[in-house]
Amino acid sequence: MRVVVGGTFDPLHAGHRKLLSRSFDLAGPAGEVVIGLTTDEFAGTKEHPVQPYQKRLDNVTAFILEKGYTASWAVEPLSDRYGSAVDADFDILVVSEETFHVALDINELRRQNGLAKVDLYVVSCVLAEDERRISSTRIYRGEIDPHGRLIR
Protein backbone atom coordinates (compact mmCIF):
# COMPACT_ATOMS: atom_id res chain seq x y z
CA MET A 1 0.00 0.00 0.00
CA ARG A 2 1.13 3.53 -0.75
CA VAL A 3 -0.11 5.94 1.91
CA VAL A 4 -0.03 9.74 1.98
CA VAL A 5 -0.29 11.91 5.10
CA GLY A 6 0.50 15.57 5.67
CA GLY A 7 0.87 18.21 8.31
CA THR A 8 2.99 20.77 10.05
CA PHE A 9 3.87 18.42 12.91
CA ASP A 10 4.93 21.16 15.31
CA PRO A 11 5.37 20.43 18.03
CA LEU A 12 5.22 16.70 17.33
CA HIS A 13 2.53 15.69 19.85
CA ALA A 14 0.57 12.55 20.71
CA GLY A 15 -2.03 13.26 18.01
CA HIS A 16 0.66 13.59 15.33
CA ARG A 17 2.31 10.40 16.55
CA LYS A 18 -1.01 8.57 16.24
CA LEU A 19 -1.52 9.94 12.70
CA LEU A 20 1.97 8.91 11.57
CA SER A 21 1.78 5.51 13.29
CA ARG A 22 -1.56 4.72 11.67
CA SER A 23 -0.14 5.70 8.28
CA PHE A 24 2.68 3.18 8.68
CA ASP A 25 0.27 0.53 9.98
CA LEU A 26 -1.93 0.96 6.90
CA ALA A 27 1.05 0.87 4.53
CA GLY A 28 2.22 -2.41 6.01
CA PRO A 29 5.82 -3.59 6.39
CA ALA A 30 6.49 -3.59 2.65
CA GLY A 31 4.45 -0.47 1.82
CA GLU A 32 5.36 3.16 1.40
CA VAL A 33 4.44 6.30 3.33
CA VAL A 34 4.77 9.76 1.79
CA ILE A 35 4.68 12.53 4.38
CA GLY A 36 3.87 16.04 3.21
CA LEU A 37 5.55 18.45 5.63
CA THR A 38 4.41 22.05 5.38
CA THR A 39 7.01 24.52 4.19
CA ASP A 40 7.97 27.42 6.41
CA GLU A 41 6.01 29.78 4.16
CA PHE A 42 2.82 27.72 4.29
CA ALA A 43 3.20 26.98 8.01
CA GLY A 44 3.62 30.72 8.61
CA THR A 45 -0.14 31.13 8.26
CA LYS A 46 -0.67 29.40 11.63
CA GLU A 47 -1.81 31.44 14.63
CA HIS A 48 1.19 30.33 16.69
CA PRO A 49 4.93 30.27 15.98
CA VAL A 50 6.26 27.25 14.08
CA GLN A 51 9.73 25.74 14.24
CA PRO A 52 11.76 25.84 11.01
CA TYR A 53 11.18 23.13 8.40
CA GLN A 54 14.49 21.38 9.09
CA LYS A 55 13.76 21.08 12.83
CA ARG A 56 10.30 19.66 12.13
CA LEU A 57 11.79 17.26 9.57
CA ASP A 58 14.37 16.14 12.13
CA ASN A 59 11.61 15.49 14.70
CA VAL A 60 9.48 13.47 12.26
CA THR A 61 12.53 11.50 11.13
CA ALA A 62 13.57 10.76 14.73
CA PHE A 63 10.06 9.50 15.54
CA ILE A 64 10.00 7.16 12.51
CA LEU A 65 13.46 5.79 13.28
CA GLU A 66 12.55 5.35 16.97
CA LYS A 67 9.51 3.27 16.00
CA GLY A 68 11.55 1.09 13.64
CA TYR A 69 9.04 0.96 10.80
CA THR A 70 10.10 -1.20 7.86
CA ALA A 71 7.90 0.45 5.22
CA SER A 72 9.78 2.80 2.95
CA TRP A 73 9.06 6.46 3.50
CA ALA A 74 9.79 9.88 2.12
CA VAL A 75 9.08 13.44 3.17
CA GLU A 76 8.10 16.04 0.60
CA PRO A 77 7.61 19.78 1.11
CA LEU A 78 3.94 20.76 1.29
CA SER A 79 3.39 24.32 0.10
CA ASP A 80 -0.41 24.24 -0.08
CA ARG A 81 -3.34 22.26 1.32
CA TYR A 82 -3.14 19.51 -1.28
CA GLY A 83 0.47 18.91 -2.33
CA SER A 84 0.99 15.98 -4.67
CA ALA A 85 -2.14 14.21 -3.37
CA VAL A 86 -4.24 15.67 -6.21
CA ASP A 87 -2.23 13.90 -8.91
CA ALA A 88 0.04 11.28 -7.30
CA ASP A 89 -0.50 7.55 -7.56
CA PHE A 90 -1.34 6.22 -4.10
CA ASP A 91 -3.93 4.11 -2.29
CA ILE A 92 -4.84 5.79 1.02
CA LEU A 93 -4.92 9.33 2.34
CA VAL A 94 -4.70 9.52 6.14
CA VAL A 95 -6.15 12.63 7.81
CA SER A 96 -7.30 13.81 11.20
CA GLU A 97 -10.90 14.63 12.01
CA GLU A 98 -10.12 18.32 11.66
CA THR A 99 -8.63 17.94 8.15
CA PHE A 100 -11.19 15.51 6.74
CA HIS A 101 -12.72 18.31 4.64
CA VAL A 102 -9.36 18.74 2.86
CA ALA A 103 -9.38 15.02 1.99
CA LEU A 104 -12.84 15.41 0.45
CA ASP A 105 -11.53 18.35 -1.60
CA ILE A 106 -8.56 16.26 -2.77
CA ASN A 107 -10.81 13.45 -3.96
CA GLU A 108 -13.02 15.95 -5.79
CA LEU A 109 -9.98 17.50 -7.50
CA ARG A 110 -8.75 14.03 -8.43
CA ARG A 111 -12.18 13.26 -9.95
CA GLN A 112 -12.12 16.52 -11.92
CA ASN A 113 -8.67 15.59 -13.24
CA GLY A 114 -9.87 12.15 -14.38
CA LEU A 115 -8.07 10.27 -11.61
CA ALA A 116 -9.47 7.63 -9.32
CA LYS A 117 -10.53 8.64 -5.85
CA VAL A 118 -8.36 7.31 -3.04
CA ASP A 119 -9.50 5.68 0.17
CA LEU A 120 -9.73 8.08 3.08
CA TYR A 121 -8.78 7.03 6.57
CA VAL A 122 -9.71 9.38 9.41
CA VAL A 123 -7.72 9.21 12.64
CA SER A 124 -9.62 10.41 15.69
CA CYS A 125 -8.09 13.19 17.73
CA VAL A 126 -6.20 12.35 20.90
CA LEU A 127 -7.64 13.86 24.05
CA ALA A 128 -5.66 15.58 26.76
CA GLU A 129 -6.18 15.02 30.49
CA ASP A 130 -8.98 17.58 30.45
CA GLU A 131 -10.85 15.57 27.75
CA ARG A 132 -10.27 18.32 25.15
CA ARG A 133 -8.28 17.51 22.04
CA ILE A 134 -4.52 17.88 21.97
CA SER A 135 -3.47 20.61 19.55
CA SER A 136 -0.34 22.53 18.74
CA THR A 137 -2.13 25.76 19.61
CA ARG A 138 -2.94 24.51 23.11
CA ILE A 139 0.67 23.40 23.58
CA TYR A 140 2.04 26.76 22.44
CA ARG A 141 -0.40 28.54 24.75
CA GLY A 142 1.08 26.56 27.64
CA GLU A 143 -2.15 24.74 28.50
CA ILE A 144 -0.83 21.21 27.92
CA ASP A 145 2.39 19.39 27.07
CA PRO A 146 2.84 17.29 23.88
CA HIS A 147 1.51 14.23 25.72
CA GLY A 148 -1.71 16.02 26.72
CA ARG A 149 -0.82 16.52 30.36
CA LEU A 150 -2.14 19.71 31.88
CA ILE A 151 0.47 22.30 32.75
CA ARG A 152 -0.25 23.65 36.18
pLDDT in tens, 59-79: 999 999 999 999 999 999 999
- Count how many domains the chain has: 1
**How far, CA to CA in Å, does 137 sit from each of 14, 117, 148?**
14, 32, 12
**pLDDT confidence of residue 45:** 72
* 132 part of a folded domain: no
Q: Are 76 and 32 in contact (CB under 8 A)?
A: no
* 76 part of a folded domain: yes
Strand partners, 133: 127
* 139 part of a folded domain: no
CATH value at residue 34: 3.40.50.620
Question: For residue range 16-38, what is the model confidence (pLDDT) as tens digits?
Answer: 999 999 999 999 999 999 999 99
Q: Which domain holds residue 65?
A: 2-125
* 152 part of a folded domain: no
Instruction: Tell me 11's DSSP state.
Output: S
Q: What is the mean pLDDT of the chain?
A: 96
pTM score, whole prediction? 0.94
Distance CA 127, CA 147 (A): 9
Sorting pLDDT into bands at 50, 70 and 90, what band is 46? Answer: low
